[in-house]
A and B are shown apart, each in its own frame.
Chain A
Amino acid sequence: MTATIDFDAPASPSASVAADGSLRRIVRGVPWPLLAAVALFFVAGAIGLVFLVAPDLKPLVFKQSLMRAFSAPLSRGGFLGADQLGRPLEWRLLAGLGISLGAAAAVTLIASVLGLAMGLLGGFFGLTADRLVTVVIDLTWAYPTILLAVVIAGILGPGVWTVIWALGLTLWAALARIVRAQVLVLREQDFVLAAQALGYSRFYIATRHLIPNLMPIVILMATLFVALTIIAEAGLSFIGLGAQSPTPSLGKTLAEGFSFASSSIWPLVFGALTMISLVIVLNAFGDRVRDILDPKGRVPLPGRRLRDAARRAEAALPARAVDRDAVIAVDDVSVAIHGRRGATTAVSDLSLTLRPGQTLGIVGESGSGKSLSARAITGLLPEGLSLSGGRVFWDGVDIAGLPAEKLRDRRGRFVAMVFQDARASLDPLYTIGEQVSESLAAHFPGPRRSFRPKVLEMLARVGLSDPEIFYDRYPHQLSGGQLQRAALAGVLVLEPRVLIADEPTTGLDATTQKKIVALVKALQREMNMSVIWISHDLDLVGEIADEIVVAYAGQPVEIGTVEEVLKRPAHPYTLGLLESRPQATMAPKSPLRSVGGTVPDPGDWPPACRFAPRCRRALAICGTTPPPMELFDEGSGRRLRCYNPEPGAAEAGA
């Protein structure tokens, strides 16, 4: 649920589970009643298997006429009644559970080992092996299990082993496919390449590096295989290819119960109930296992304690009147992450104003809360996060007061967002033209086709020359720069008042970045739009912004004009960021200045100044009293959260 939150900082050891063994994670993560139910079935199955072989117990399962045929449940001598031959149903079902689960275990073992081996062979041992494996997998897919079962039954004769081999020799292909795909990804991971560069053999890398990382998938598929086998065994037994009389597999019991249903319904009912409850429990277990082992679900919610001692620091300031002329005004906003152990503040003390046509840059390292700040401004916080204080005004209207429906309609036309990964924000199945039309269709009536002229015009405006051609192109046919242009077209076609650009050029080439920046500047002038540009690169923000907000650990620490902030940084953090970048004017290979340490996680913020532990100008007071955001420079309106600003900045007043 926190997949969209950008916290790069390491999770604390106690909260992180990624490195634990998969099995330990499953045992810890699955609710105990479910775990108990699964255990119960398997223990019952194991006991059932004992009943099948122990000489003293065997008669309970196999001996005919222990009771009267078709005895009703709770009749004398039997708890669930008896079947058509007078064998007690409870022992038959217990043994059946043993056979079915035993067969499932065998199938899972065969399919897992074979699937893992074949997937690895295909993905990691060369092109020839891959072609061969792919052909075998495709053939296996194309071949119906039943047909294979008939063939195997011809060799082994019908029976439980026929079922085991028929399923084991088909189900592996499902795993092999996934394993192969995963290996294709893993083998390009740097740690695999590094091991190769160290000269280790493929076999070594496969066993030490690949298999441990494939285990979650194998376990995941195994839970599916068990449930699938139970059902398939019933099917094959029903048509006579599976267990044969008197072997009491669940499928066989069900088949016989069905045949004699007119004499007694109970064998069918109890057989079906056993099987249904078993499959439901196994599937529920599989679902939970999938949640636990899915890498996306693994990110623990960051933070544990709500520590907002510093939260009200700004209350010391006289309450600023909200600028009603501002396009966007943000007044003392804070954002909380709701985790398992309560809420943690991720953004606090955020106050800023955005005027018509103005560009505001928000700068900070990963974990500084800059993306979350932008999300709060749009009223679109990811799942698990909420506005825990303060107010956001759009054109002077508090958005908290707007009904959800109205907010949604206004949002698209008022504030638009583009992100770093333009490819992810476009649907691969629709053409660029269709997706831009979609934005219009969400807000204006009329058939999609009627939007075409407007869409073509927009595509041309974002610099996709030959808009007719780009209209019909799919995202995968576009380069990174073109994708970002298409994403811009998709949101700007609604002519929003504000564009929020969240690292839209990170990952693009420098030459492409320059073109996108120039494009946004041109469109901004044409459309008289305000822009909030988020980046970790102060230099880049300097190119486009009028005003810069430097954020650190969820808080603005310096807000001022580009001129002031970049030429005479006042906050030690701002200066640190500026000095970290190598400059053409520096002597090559000279040591760079650097801000030591890392941004603390939300929840681990220092109580007073959050930057103090990394600050080379920290005073005693920085560790005891949270610094307020104060006006630093009357003339330019620069605001600063620091007790001991950089001396160079003071020249500003002169």
Chain B
Amino acid sequence: MSRGDVLLSVEHLSKTYRGQGGRPAHKALDDVSLELRASETLGIVGESGSGKSTLARVLVRLTGADSGRADYCGVDLLRARGADALFLTRQIQIVFQDPNSSMNPRRTIRQALLEAARVAEHPPADIQGSLARMMEAVGLSREKLDAYPHQLSGGQRQRVAIARALAVSPRVVVADECVSALDVSVQSSILNLMLERQRELGLAYVFISHDLSVVHHMSDRMIVMRSGRIVEAGNPSEIMRNPQDPYTRELIASVPGSGFRAA
């Protein structure tokens, strides 16, 4: 399969969270359709309540959907069981937002990576050696393997989270706000790391963030979501230059520093 082939296709996906304790039902996804092609980055930008995280969870099967279709290379993502489920696990992995909770505080980095590496289709023969290589690939020294998460900085933990996702050799990585909790200087090094890994491994990313400038920078194609719906989709630079939806225009106007940057 080469660059440009459709890996993941989602059609008319909807999901409603039932309201509890008198709260009204909440439509997290409302008729969402999208495609992800091999080796590309699909950026999804949206604010709280836009449904972007629900979408991320559906893609890695942490939650189901009410209606619609989602399939990956012909495998039904919403109904996969057994061998199909294992196949999807090995193909699609996720990196989460919070570097503080992305690692079990009571287990070492080695244990965390081992847990992921065991899921891979062809676990490397020399698994300990491969853990060291995984660490080096995300810019960490192998000595850190025996550290506990609290001994690492937020940026380092996020690097480990990326290494864990890559340990099963996936073709798709869903990044759900993976740099939102980091300082700008750390954020840029993580983004660089993701771009490097993508070039080298031919990964496809679903890159989700509330930060328009970050999504714009990372994406080949971009989707703007609001209240569970896709309000705009297309080429990132095109959207920034010529936004069609009023909400997209509001988002662009809300990026701080536009005044100084333009000058």
Which residues in A have some Cβ–Cβ distance to B below 8 Å?
8-11, 13, 16, 18-19, 189-191, 193-200, 208-209, 212-213, 365-366, 480, 509-514, 517, 536-540, 542-543, 562, 566-567, 576-577, 579-586, 588-589, 591-596, 598
Question: With A and B bound together, what is the CA distance between A538 and B213 in angstroms?
Answer: 14
**Given contacts A18-B105, A539-B256, is CB(A580)–CB(B188) below 8 Å?**
yes
Among residues of B, the one whose C-beta sits closest to the C-beta of A599 is B183
Contact A566 B185, beta carbon cutoff 8 Å: no
A598 CB to nearest B CB, Å: 5
B160 CB to nearest A CB, Å: 11
Question: Which residues on B sit within 8 Å (CB–CB) of A581?
Answer: 184, 188, 213, 257
- Asked if B151 is an interface residue, CB under 8 A from chain A, the answer is yes
B213 CB to nearest A CB, Å: 5
Contact A10 B152, beta carbon cutoff 8 Å: yes
Contact A198 B184, beta carbon cutoff 8 Å: no
**Given contacts A513-B256, A536-B184, A539-B257, is CB(A598)–CB(B155) below 8 Å?**
yes
Residues 180 to 209 of chain B near chain A (Cβ within 8 Å):
183-189, 191-192, 195
Question: With A and B bound together, what is the CA distance between A213 and B103 in angstroms?
Answer: 12
Q: Contact check: which of B60, B93, B153, B260 meets A539 at CB < 8 Å?
A: B260
- Asked if B169 is an interface residue, CB under 8 A from chain A, the answer is no
Q: Contact check: which of B101, B153, B260 meets A189 at CB < 8 Å?
A: B101
Question: With A and B bound together, what is the CA distance between A11 and B150 in angstroms?
Answer: 7
Contact A580 B185, beta carbon cutoff 8 Å: yes
Question: Which residues on A sit within 8 Å (CB–CB) of B72?
Answer: none
Among residues of A, the one whose C-beta sits closest to the C-beta of B152 is A10
Question: Which residues on A sit within 8 Å (CB–CB) of B257?
Answer: 538-540, 542-543, 566, 581
A-B residue pairs, 7 tightest by C-beta? A539-B257, A582-B217, A190-B96, A19-B148, A509-B47, A594-B188, A592-B188
A481 CB to nearest B CB, Å: 10
Contact A511 B216, beta carbon cutoff 8 Å: no
- Asked if B71 is an interface residue, CB under 8 A from chain A, the answer is no
- Asked if B140 is an interface residue, CB under 8 A from chain A, the answer is no
Contact A510 B251, beta carbon cutoff 8 Å: yes
Question: Which residues on B sit within 8 Å (CB–CB) of A9?
Answer: 153
- A-contact 0/1 string along B109-140, CB 8 Å cutoff: 00010011001000000000000000000000
Question: Which residues on A sit within 8 Å (CB–CB) of B103?
Answer: 191
Q: Contact check: which of B185, B211, B251 meets A365 at CB < 8 Å?
A: B185
Q: Contact check: which of B57, B89, B102, B187 meets A198 at CB < 8 Å?
A: B89
Max chain B Cβ within 10 angstroms of own Cβ: one of A10, A13, A198, A577: A198
B127 CB to nearest A CB, Å: 15
A613 CB to nearest B CB, Å: 14
Question: Which residues on B sit within 8 Å (CB–CB) of A195?
Answer: 115
- Asked if B237 is an interface residue, CB under 8 A from chain A, the answer is yes
Question: With A and B bound together, what is the CA distance between A589 and B188 in angstroms?
Answer: 11
B138 CB to nearest A CB, Å: 14
Among residues of B, the one whose C-beta sits closest to the C-beta of A537 is B256
Contact A196 B62, beta carbon cutoff 8 Å: yes
Question: Which residues on B sit within 8 Å (CB–CB) of A592?
Answer: 188-189, 191-192, 217
Contact B212 A510, beta carbon cutoff 8 Å: yes
Question: With A and B bound together, what is the CA distance between A193 and B155 in angstroms?
Answer: 20
Question: With A and B bound together, what is the CA distance between A280 and B106 in angstroms?
Answer: 32
Question: With A and B bound together, what is the CA distance between A18 and B150 in angstroms?
Answer: 7
Contact B218 A511, beta carbon cutoff 8 Å: no
Residues 25 to 72 of chain B near chain A (Cβ within 8 Å):
41, 47-48, 57, 60-62
Question: With A and B bound together, what is the CA distance between A180 and B137 in angstroms?
Answer: 39
**Can you list 8 contacts pairing A with B, beta carbon distance less than 8 Å?**
A11-B150, A19-B106, A197-B61, A510-B212, A513-B254, A538-B257, A586-B217, A594-B192
Max chain A Cβ within 10 angstroms of own Cβ: one of B98, B184, B251: B184
Question: Which residues on A sit within 8 Å (CB–CB) of B219?
Answer: 588
**Given contacts A537-B256, A539-B257, A567-B260, is CB(A589)–CB(B218) below 8 Å?**
yes
Contact A10 B151, beta carbon cutoff 8 Å: yes
Question: Which residues on A sit within 8 Å (CB–CB) of B228?
Answer: none
Among residues of B, the one whose C-beta sits closest to the C-beta of A215 is B106
Task: Apart from A517-B256, A543-B259, list 7 A-B contacts with CB within 8 A.
Answer: A194-B102, A197-B93, A514-B256, A538-B184, A539-B256, A577-B185, A584-B240
- Asked if B229 is an interface residue, CB under 8 A from chain A, the answer is no
Q: Contact check: which of A194, A209, A582, A583 meets B94 at CB < 8 Å?
A: A194
Question: Which residues on A sit within 8 Å (CB–CB) of B214?
Answer: 582
Question: Which residues on A sit within 8 Å (CB–CB) of B75?
Answer: none
Question: With A and B bound together, what is the CA distance between A583 and B258 in angstroms?
Answer: 9
Question: With A and B bound together, what is the CA distance between A10 and B164 in angstroms?
Answer: 20
**Given contacts A194-B94, A594-B192, is CB(A583)–CB(B48) below 8 Å?**
no
Among residues of A, the one whose C-beta sits closest to the C-beta of B120 is A198
Among residues of B, the one whose C-beta sits closest to the C-beta of A9 is B153
Question: With A and B bound together, what is the CA distance between A199 and B168 in angstroms?
Answer: 11
Contact B98 A190, beta carbon cutoff 8 Å: yes
Question: With A and B bound together, what is the CA distance between A583 and B213 in angstroms?
Answer: 6
**Given contacts A580-B184, A591-B192, A598-B186, is CB(A542)–CB(B260) below 8 Å?**
yes
Contact B251 A197, beta carbon cutoff 8 Å: no
- A-contact 0/1 string along B149-162, CB 8 Å cutoff: 01111111000010
Question: With A and B bound together, what is the CA distance between A538 and B260 in angstroms?
Answer: 11
